[in-house]
Amino acid sequence: MTSSPKTSTFTNQKWILTKRPKDEFDPDRDVELKTEELDSKSCLDGNKDEQDLVLVKVEALSVDAFIRTMMDATAYHGSLDLENTLPALGYGTVVISKSKKFRVGQPVLGMLGAQTYARIPAKQLKRKFDLPLLPTSASLGLLSLTTGLTAYAGIFFVPSKGPRKGDTVVVTASAGAVGSIAAQLAKTTGAKVVGIAGNKNDYLLNELKLDGAVNYKDKSISLEDQLDEACPDGVDFVFDNVGGDTLDALLERIRPGGRIVICGAVSQYDSGSVNKVDGQTVQGPSNYLKLAERGAEMRGFNVMQHMHKMPIAMFFLFWYYVRGKVRMTEHIHNGIESFPKALKSLLNGGNTGKTLVKVKNM
Ligand SMILES: NC(=O)c1ccc[n+]([C@@H]2O[C@H](COP(=O)([O-])OP(=O)(O)OC[C@H]3O[C@@H](n4cnc5c(N)ncnc54)[C@H](OP(=O)(O)O)[C@@H]3O)[C@@H](O)[C@H]2O)c1
């Protein structure tokens, strides 16, 4: 930031989408880092619908799988237009305000985008909360809508019957942000919990203290054989983040009265799979008739459908955290420059736990 007695200039660096990924997202080909100068006197001048604008200095950004889905022309979460800033949840501090809701210096939370300064209507922001005993980044991880609250909803609000003592539970992408919390929440019920991830058995068994671990990247033994070994009597409850062949293998092993919760399908988002035509179709489960055969249920959800129950989810996530029952591992990348590579790393399984970008402003 440079300043004179009358005006200041803020240098915003933002990642924009320049090309729709053809198959796999390429951080060097599909996005570009643009720099723009924002003048403190005029940068909040907008039309009358934008009377309530604030400028936020971004401090940290959440890197989530949904950002990849929004790069496609047809997307479940809405498609991002070319030349627009990549979406990202984040927090920061208000540096200029035209709004009565927020004053300069207040910490705020919202869809700030992958950039260093966000010009945003106050109604799209919330006051950032900091709870005692929690790291300041908890608002983007443990207590974030797209992470801890999604995990809580998928384990306890979505299925007709949540996991319970005696059940065998399998969580996919269980070393990732949502999956690691979902697996630990399932453990609190007394169920036996098996995690699936790529080359992360040590983390699943020794850090998350799960009862079993399956490495879907192991070339020496098939996913199916590993599942049969870890879950010899089948599976009562599945929290699925990956879809594809893994979901089929779990359908094959679902027990009578089993419950499968569809949280996402990350194996399909950046796969360039032959079944993925222009980002519109994904590989569906061919084993779905096992649901009929075993009287099992498969139910999907979007966390937004459970907003009214979020205070309960927040309370229990906080409670489990302070009692040491749920931990949140953070995988931190530094600098706005790292944002696209952090996203690519998440899609390749280069992350463990919650992927965050700590932004340094010029
Ligand atoms: N329903 C909702 O409202 C909602 C809300 C938020 C997120 N979600 C979903 O939650 C899931 C997790 O999202 P996240 O942001 O927390 O990401 P994340 O789990 O932190 O990262 C994605 C993980 O997926 C795994 N992965 C990548 N490609 C894979 C493949 N081909 N097969 C199997 N695993 C693969 C990687 O781990 P490995 O090392 O194990 O490969 C990676 O760690 C996504 O499906 C997302 O869409 C749903």
CA of 266 to the centre of ligand 1 (A): 5
Decide: 70 in ligand 1 pocket, CB within 6 A. Answer: no
Residues 167-220: pLDDT tens digits?
A: 999 999 999 999 999 999 999 999 999 999 999 999 999 999 999 999 999 999
Q: How far is CA 105 from the centre of its chain?
A: 28
Decide: 305 in ligand 1 pocket, CB within 6 A. Answer: no
pLDDT score recorded for residue 362:
56
- The preferred substitution site among 72, 77, 266, 306 for testing ligand 1, maximizing ligand atoms within 8 Å of CB, is 266
What average pLDDT does the segment 140-158 reach? 98
Decide: 64 in ligand 1 pocket, CB within 6 A. Answer: yes
Residues 205-260: pLDDT tens digits?
A: 999 999 999 999 999 999 999 999 999 999 999 999 999 999 999 999 999 999 99
Residue nearest to atom 29 of ligand 1 (CA): 267
- For the beta sheet containing 8-17, the strands, ordered from the edge strand earlier in sequence to the opposite edge, are 2-3, 8-17, 31-39
- Reported confidence tier of residue 322, pLDDT bands at 50, 70, 90: very high
CA of 46 to the centre of ligand 1 (A): 38
Decide: 300 in ligand 1 pocket, CB within 6 A. Answer: no
Number of CB atoms found within 10 A of residue 165's CB: 8
- 127 by Cβ neighbours in 10 Å (0-12 / 13-18 / 19+) ranks as exposed
- Reported confidence tier of residue 2, pLDDT bands at 50, 70, 90: very low
**What H or E segment, with its residue span, contains residue 56?**
strand 53-62
Distance in angstroms (rounded) separating the CA atoms of residues 226 and 172? 14
Decide: 138 in ligand 1 pocket, CB within 6 A. Answer: no
CA of 47 to the centre of ligand 1 (A): 39
Residue type, position 164, single letter = R
Number of CB atoms found within 10 A of residue 330's CB: 18
CA distances from 223 to 37, 184, 247 (A): 52, 22, 11
Position 311 pLDDT exceeds 90: yes
Residue nearest to atom 32 of ligand 1 (CA): 267
Q: Which positions ≥6 away from 318 have C-beta within 8 Å?
A: 131, 134, 142, 143
Residue nearest to atom 9 of ligand 1 (CA): 264
Read out DSSP for 337-362?
A: GGHHHHHHHHHHT---BEEEEE----
Residues 288-300: pLDDT tens digits?
A: 999 999 999 999 9
Position 47 pLDDT exceeds 80: no
Decide: 302 in ligand 1 pocket, CB within 6 A. Answer: yes
217 CA: nearest ligand 1 atom: 41
Length of the chain equals: 362
The closest alpha carbon to 362, from 13, 6, 3, 7, belongs to 13
| 205 contacts 186 by C-beta, under 8 angstroms | no
Decide: 162 in ligand 1 pocket, CB within 6 A. Answer: no
188 three-state secondary structure? helix
Higher pLDDT, 46 or 111: 111
Sign, Cα dihedral of 67, 73, 78, 80: positive
| 14 contacts 32 by C-beta, under 8 angstroms | no
Distance in angstroms (rounded) separating the CA atoms of residues 149 and 153? 6
Position 272 pLDDT exceeds 80: no
